[in-house]
Every structure is written in structure tokens, then in C-alpha cells.
């Protein structure tokens, strides 16, 4: 049991992208599903402890070692990085695509009320969104969707782990009035 | 516009709004009014005042702002002048709903954008180990592989075309395959194997039209950064790799 845990740990250590359960299973074909998932759970528990600077995160339908957020500042100092902030326009566009995909540019624009051509190009370059195809209507407009990279960047296990629109809806009904109070301070 | 001198009220600080929806939401919040019961006249006055202010700062007022101004004016007129001949039994919908619905949807999206902004972001809050890409090195031979540009791709295309059948004599046929289909095919091929050589993709194609279509598909995929092309230096063999592993949007498959 401890060996399977060590093997998986080594796989995760060298993996560049989140490692899916399917992939781990294909490498460890001699072990059962239960053995592997239990080992993963044990690893997660172990690295969640205070002794470690990183933890085993479940992102983009896979497992990946990631540094803990509380040590982000040290890492940024080491690597001398200033994280690129996504603009409000980019975040809104991304949110629309994440929730409404597959979606056309015109549909995004009708929600945001502004042109999104430039933002879409930037999001494509950053590989946060991708072209799913073209819709079979006059003009054959491009259909957009989010990528695996999007899940990785925003630490999402899968696309369904986003809060639902209804949950957000409840929030926003309150916030329309509540935030008003904050803004007026 | 009201007759009182507005200039005194203008604040020097000019907030920049993403668009008309952003501005409207801000005005609704600022005035602490119920989104379902918007005082159109008030909001419209402030909305237009903002557009005036933008103009006075020589900022181009985008068309979208004007379009929404027109919508506001239309709703205001509808409120002032009840429809003649409207059936009394039939409760006419509040004309303001035309504005409220998209506003509510936009407000939700703003919240959703905020949750994204607050989530643990890779490269900002959390970090992963940086492993030099294994694709860059042929691990067995240790020979260097370089990412190729358009020039190398085009010269590779020339080689393929040289081997192609001579031009057929005016063969008229409907396009058997379109670019989109070819792109999808390529993505399927690449999803099955980790990489494929440039020449393999053209193996079974003799017709020039097919070759060109495949080439265009490759160019498009490279441009969209969905695939990456590398060239093995001594042999000059070009290999294409999927840029993102499992490059299928979760939303698209489920």
C-alpha cells in the first residue's frame, strides 16, 4: 500500500500537467481502483498538513502538486514575477464563456453590451478559451468555449465545480443593493 | 437636463466604465434604487450627464453608449405615453423590463467574474513546478528539436506538392471536405497519438486540393495555438504536437 503511494507520488512529482486518474491507472495497471484512490487520498491528507509547502490539488480533472497560497509571496520573490492581472473586461468575458459555452461572440457582446473582439483574441492567445467550431448559420460564426488551461489557471476541478448561475443569482440580487451601500461610503 | 448648474457637481475624478451596462449598474447602485423599479428619468439624466462629461474630456463616446441612451429615451416615452388602444384586460408589461432583464444578467456575470478573480489563480496565488518541456528533446537520441515557423512549414508543403499527382484535367467536383472538418479530423488524429509527422498527414492524399486543405488546417491550428510544430534538426522531419493535453473543453464533451 505504501509502495503504490510512493509510485503515485513520483508520477505526480514529474508530471507537467495535472495527472488524471485514468492516466495513473494506466501506469499502475497492477493495482486496483480502490488502492489507487486511497493512496491519492492519503497523499492529499499528508500534504495538506502544516509540514509541507505544497499540497496535492485536484484541478482540471487531475491531480497536481501546487504550492500553498500562503507561500505565494515567497515564490513570487524568488521567481521575480509580477502576476499578470486579468482586466475586468477579460474576467467578465471569460465568465460569460465559462457559464454559457458553447457561445458565439455576438451572444457575449449582447450580455456585456460592448465589443469583445480584442478581449477574445487575448483570451485565445492565453489559451484560456478556444474555438469549438462554427455554427451552421449564415456567416458561420465562431463558437467559443473554455479550455483545460482555464480550469488549471482558476484552480477548478472541472467546469461543473463553478458555482451555478442560480447560486450567483441569489448573490447578485442582494449585492445590487448591498454593494450600493459600500460604494457610497 | 435640469437647469441647475451641473458643473459644480462634477467630480474631477472620472470613472471609466466598461460599457453602458457597467455605467447603468453603477448609477443604480449609487442612487440606491431598486433594480426592478428604476426611476428612468433620474437615471437617464445622470446617464446623459456622464456622456456629456466624457465628451468634455474629449473621450470618444462609443456607439454602444448612445444605443443605450436611445433605449432609455424610448422607455421613458413609453412610460409617459400609455399605448393607445391597449386592451385593458391585458396587463401591459412594464417597459422597463427591457432594461432590467439584461441588467440582471450582466450583474450576475459581474459576480461570476468576481468569483473567478477571487479564486486561487495559477501563477498568482499558487504555483507549480516548472519542468522543461519534454517535447523539446528527443529523449532517446538527445538530438535537438526546434519549433518551426511559417517558412519551414511552407517549404515542407512544397515537397509534398511535388510528390502530388499532376493537375487533373478540369475535374469539377463539389468540395468534398471543408476546412472545419479537416481541422476537426486533425485534432482527432492528434488526440489519439501524442504526435504526428507532417508527412504522415499527407500520406493518403494525392489531390492537390486535399493537400492544400490539410495545410490550411495546420496553419489555422498553429495560429490558434492548438498545435505546436517542431522540427528535428538533422533529419528535418517536422512533428506536430497537441498544444494542450486533452485539449477538449469540458463543456463541449459533456
Q: Which three cell numbers stand for residue B65?
A: 453608449
The partner residue sitting opposite B251, judged by closest CB among A102, A127, A149, is A102
Q: Which three cell numbers stand for residue A42?
A: 492519503
Report the SS3 class of residue A40: helix
Q: What is the CATH number of the domain that holds B145?
A: 1.10.10.580
Answer yes or no: pTM beyond 0.80: no
| Containing structural domain, residue B160 | 134-253
Shortest CA gap B199–chain A (Å): 25
The partner residue sitting opposite B180, judged by closest CB among A111, A133, A172, is A133
Q: Which residue has the higher pLDDT, B135 or A74?
A: A74
| B100 shares its domain with B191 | no
| B172 shares its domain with B228 | yes
Among chain B residues, the shortest Cα distance to A63 is held by B128
DSSP string, B153-174: HHHHHHHHHHHSPPPPSS----
| B79 shares its domain with B150 | no
Q: pLDDT at residue B175 above 50?
A: yes
| B159 shares its domain with B82 | no
Q: Indicate whether B9 belongs to any domain.
A: no
The average confidence (pLDDT) of chain B is 76
Residue labelled with grid coordinates 516548472: B130
The partner residue sitting opposite A145, judged by closest CB among B102, B111, B249, is B249
Distance between CA atoms of residues A163 and A167, nearest Å: 6
Give Cβ neighbours of residue B201 (< 8 Å, ≥ 6 apart). B186, B189, B214, B218, B240
Q: Indicate whether B14 belongs to any domain.
A: no
Edge-to-edge strand list for the sheet holding B238-242: B145-147, B227-232, B238-242, B195-197
Q: Indicate whether B154 belongs to any domain.
A: yes
| B188 shares its domain with B239 | yes
Q: Is A20 at the interface with chain B, CB within 8 A?
A: yes
Q: Indicate whether B114 belongs to any domain.
A: yes
Query: Taking residues B203-228, what's their average pLDDT?
Result: 81
| B138 shares its domain with B244 | yes
The pLDDT, as a whole number, for residue B55 is: 82
pLDDT single digits (tens) B25-35 = 999 988 999 88
| B109 shares its domain with B216 | no
Report the SS3 class of residue A86: coil
What's the CATH number of domain A88-173, 2.60.40.1930, 3.40.640.10, 1.10.10.10, 3.40.50.360? 1.10.10.10
| B61 shares its domain with B141 | no
Distance between CA atoms of residues A162 and A154, nearest Å: 10
Handedness of CA B140, B143, B148, B154 (dihedral sign): negative
Q: Is A30 at the interface with chain B, CB within 8 A?
A: no
Residue labelled with grid coordinates 442582494: A174
The pLDDT, as a whole number, for residue A69 is: 93
Q: Indicate whether B11 belongs to any domain.
A: no
Fold of A2-77: Arc Repressor Mutant, subunit A (1.10.10)
Distance between CA atoms of residues A155 and A128, nearest Å: 13
Same fold: A2-77 with A88-173: yes
Please calculate the CA angle A130-A97-A92 and round it to the nearest 5 degrees.
Answer: 120
Q: Indicate whether B147 belongs to any domain.
A: yes
Q: List all residues of chain A from 68 to 97 with a beta carbon under 8 Å from chain B.
A: 68-69, 72, 75, 79, 81, 83-86, 88-89, 91-92, 94-96
Q: pLDDT at residue A165 above 90?
A: no
The pLDDT, as a whole number, for residue B168 is: 56
Buried b (16+ CB within 10 A) or exposed e, A2-34: eebbebbbeebeebebbbbeebbeeebeebeee
Contact B107 A172 (CB under 8 A): yes
Q: Give the confidence band of B11 by pLDDT, cuts at 50, 70, 90.
A: very low
| B53 shares its domain with B140 | no
| B149 shares its domain with B223 | yes
Boundaries of every domain in chain A: 2-77, 88-173
Helix (H) or strand (E) holding A61: none
Give strand ranges (E) for A24-172.
Answer: 54-59, 62-67, 103-104, 129-134, 142-146
Q: Indicate whether B44 belongs to any domain.
A: yes
The partner residue sitting opposite A65, judged by closest CB among B123, B128, B133, is B128
Residues of chain A with Cβ-Cβ distance to B120 below 8 Å are: 69, 154-155
Number of separate domains in chain B: 2
| B216 shares its domain with B185 | yes
The pLDDT, as a whole number, for residue B83 is: 67
Report the SS3 class of residue A13: helix
The partner residue sitting opposite B122, judged by closest CB among A85, A98, A155, is A155
pLDDT single digits (tens) A117-156 = 999 999 998 889 999 989 999 988 999 999 999 999 999 9
Contact A99 B109 (CB under 8 A): yes
Residues of chain B with Cβ-Cβ distance to A127 below 8 Å are: 225, 243-244
Q: pLDDT at residue B252 above 70?
A: no
Q: In A32-103, which residue ranges form alpha helices assigned H by DSSP?
A: 33-48, 72-79, 88-100
| B105 shares its domain with B143 | no
Amino acid at each position: 500500500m505504501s509502495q503504490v503511494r510512493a509510485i503515485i507520488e513520483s508520477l505526480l512529482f514529474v508530471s507537467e500537467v495535472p495527472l488524471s486518474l485514468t492516466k495513473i491507472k494506466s501506469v499502475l495497471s497492477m493495482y486496483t481502483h480502490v488502492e489507487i484512490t486511497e493512496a491519492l487520498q492519503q497523499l492529499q491528507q499528508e500534504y495538506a498538513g502544516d509540514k509541507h509547502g505544497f499540497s496535492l490539488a485536484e484541478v482540471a480533472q487531475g491531480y497536481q502538486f501546487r504550492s500553498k497560497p500562503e507561500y505565494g509571496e515567497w515564490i513570487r520573490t524568488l521567481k521575480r514575477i509580477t502576476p499578470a492581472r486579468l482586466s475586468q473586461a477579460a474576467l467578465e468575458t471569460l465568465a460569460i464563456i465559462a457559464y454559457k459555452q458553447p457561445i458565439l461572440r455576438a451572444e457575449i457582446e449582447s450580455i456585456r453590451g460592448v465589443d469583445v473582439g480584442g478581449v477574445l483574441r487575448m483570451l485565445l492567445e492565453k489559451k484560456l478559451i478556444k474555438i469549438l467550431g462554427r455554427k451552421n448559420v449564415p456567416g458561420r460564426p465562431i463558437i467559443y468555449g473554455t479550455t483545460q488551461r482555464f480550469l488549471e489557471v482558476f484552480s477548478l476541478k472541472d467546469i461543473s465545480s463553478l458555482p451555478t448561475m442560480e447560486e450567483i443569482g441569489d448573490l447578485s440580487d442582494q449585492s445590487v443593493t448591498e454593494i450600493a451601500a459600500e460604494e457610497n461610503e | 437636463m435640469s437647469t441647475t448648474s451641473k458643473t459644480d457637481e462634477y467630480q474631477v475624478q472620472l470613472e471609466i466604465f466598461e460599457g453602458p451596462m457597467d455605467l447603468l449598474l453603477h448609477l443604480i447602485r449609487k442612487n440606491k434604487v431598486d433594480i426592478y423599479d428604476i426611476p428612468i428619468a433620474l437615471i437617464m439624466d445622470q446617464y446623459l450627464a456622464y456622456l456629456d462629461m466624457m465628451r468634455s474630456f474629449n473621450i470618444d463616446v462609443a456607439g454602444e453608449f448612445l444605443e443605450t441612451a436611445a433605449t432609455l429615451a424610448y422607455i421613458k416615452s413609453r412610460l409617459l405615453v400609455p399605448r393607445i388602444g391597449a386592451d385593458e384586460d391585458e396587463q401591459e408589461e412594464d417597459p422597463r423590463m427591457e432594461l432590467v432583464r439584461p441588467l440582471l444578467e450582466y450583474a450576475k456575470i459581474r459576480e461570476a467574474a468576481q468569483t473567478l478573480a477571487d479564486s486561487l489563480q495559477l501563477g498568482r496565488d499558487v504555483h507549480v513546478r516548472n519542468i522543461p518541456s519534454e517535447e523539446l528533446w528527443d529523449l532517446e537520441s538527445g538530438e535537438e528539436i526546434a519549433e518551426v515557423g511559417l517558412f519551414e512549414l511552407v517549404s515542407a508543403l512544397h515537397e509534398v506538392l511535388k510528390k502530388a499527382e499532376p493537375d487533373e484535367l478540369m475535374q469539377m467536383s463539389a468540395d468534398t471536405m471543408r476546412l472545419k472538418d479537416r481541422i476537426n479530423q486533425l485534432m482527432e488524429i492528434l488526440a489519439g497519438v501524442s504526435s504526428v509527422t507532417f508527412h504522415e498527414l499527407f500520406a493518403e492524399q494525392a489531390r492537390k486540393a486535399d493537400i492544400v486543405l490539410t495545410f490550411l488546417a495546420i496553419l489555422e491550428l498553429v495560429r490558434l495555438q492548438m498545435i505546436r510544430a517542431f522540427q528535428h534538426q538533422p533529419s528535418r522531419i517536422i512533428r506536430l504536437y497537441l498544444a494542450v493535453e486533452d485539449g477538449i473543453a469540458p463543456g463541449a464533451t459533456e
